[in-house]
Homo-oligomer: A and B are copies of this chain.
Amino acid sequence: MAKKKLNIGLMGCGFMGRTHSNAYNKVNKFFDLEYEPVLKAACARPEDESKLIPFAENWGWQSTETDWRKMVERDDIDVIDIVAPNNTHHDIAIAAAKNGKIVLSEKPLAMNTAEAVEMAEAVEKAGVANMVWFNYRRVPAITLAKQMIDEGRLGRIFHYRAKYLQDWTISANVPQGGQTLWRLDAAVAGSGVTGDLLAHSIDTAVWLIGGMDSVTAMTETFIKERELQDQPGVRKPVLIDDACAFLARFKNGALATFESTRYARGRKNQNCFEINGEKGSIFFDLEDAHQLQYYNHEDDAHTVGWRTILVTDSSHPYMKQWWVPGCVIGYEHTFINALADFLKGLETGKPIVPTFRDGIETQAICDAVLKSAKTGVWEKVEG
By a beta-carbon cutoff of 8 Å, the part of chain A in contact with chain B is 15, 19, 22, 25-26, 28-29, 58-59, 144, 147-148, 153, 158-159, 161, 163, 165-168, 170, 216-218, 220, 222, 243, 245-247, 249, 253, 255, 257, 259, 261, 263-270, 274, 276-281, 286-292, 294-297, 299, 301-310, 312-313, 315-316, 322-333, 376-378
Contacts and interface: CB of A to CB of B under 8 A. Distances in A.
A279 B158 CA distance: 34
A18 B291 CA distance: 25
A291 B297 CA distance: 17
Nearest to A166: B326
A265 B278 contact: yes
Contact of A328 (B245, B307, B330): B330
Nearest to A244: B255
Contacts of A222: 158, 253
Contacts of A259: 161, 257
Contact of A279 (B253, B265, B277): B265
A297 B255 contact: no
Nearest to A264: B276
A266 B222 CA distance: 36
Nearest to A243: B255
Contacts of A243: 158-159, 255
Contacts of A308: 305-308
B332 A297 contact: no
Nearest to A170: B278
A263 B159 contact: yes
A288 B267 CA distance: 17
A151 B167 CA distance: 22
Contact of A326 (B255, B269, B281, B290): B269
Given A255-B220, A255-B243, A310-B287, A265 B295 contact: yes
Contacts of A249: 218
A231 B53 CA distance: 56
Most B CB within 10 A of own CB, among A25, A245, A302, A323: A302
B266 A325 contact: no
Closest 3 CB pairs of A and B: A269-B326, A266-B295, A268-B326
B313 A303 contact: no
Contacts of A159: 243, 261, 263-264
A297 B245 contact: no
Contact of A245 (B257, B377, B378): B257
